[in-house]
Amino acid sequence: MFPAFLLSLREGLQAALIIGIVMGVLRKINRPDLKSAVWSGVVSAIMVSLQAGGLFTAQGVSFEGKAEEIFEGFTMILAAGILTWMIFWMNRQSRHLRANVENKVQNAAVAGRSICGMNNRRG
């Protein structure tokens, strides 16, 4: 239970870091009107995560004996694989990650402004 808590804490901190970067960029480019879209995305991600966790838990509960051990082993191997891939990916992307996120947020803000018909004015 404790390792799962630490893993969740670490993932939450990483998510908070990205959210902080996005919010900082929105403040930097003077687009506070898009903060609600960011928070909607955060809430959506939490809901999907809870649903996926509930699905895996419900699926795992239905197994007994050897099937339960196989399910747990497969789930652990899958999680280890995803985390290992994420570590290597983050290592490759770390140098450019912040600039890349800032650039994508600025592009999305500009695209949102043009879609809303606000090319020549802020807000």
Q: Is 33 exposed, middle or buried (0-12, 13-18, 19+ CB in 10 A)?
A: middle
The pLDDT tens digits of the residues spanning 66-111 come to 988 898 899 889 989 998 998 888 788 777 777 887 888 888 888 8
Tokens for 85, please give them: 């891939």
Stretch (H or E) spanning 70: helix 66-93
Domain ranges of the chain: 2-115
The pLDDT tens digits of the residues spanning 40-75 come to 999 999 999 899 888 878 877 777 889 888 988 998
Tell me the pTM: 0.57
The pLDDT tens digits of the residues spanning 6-28 come to 778 888 888 898 899 889 888 98
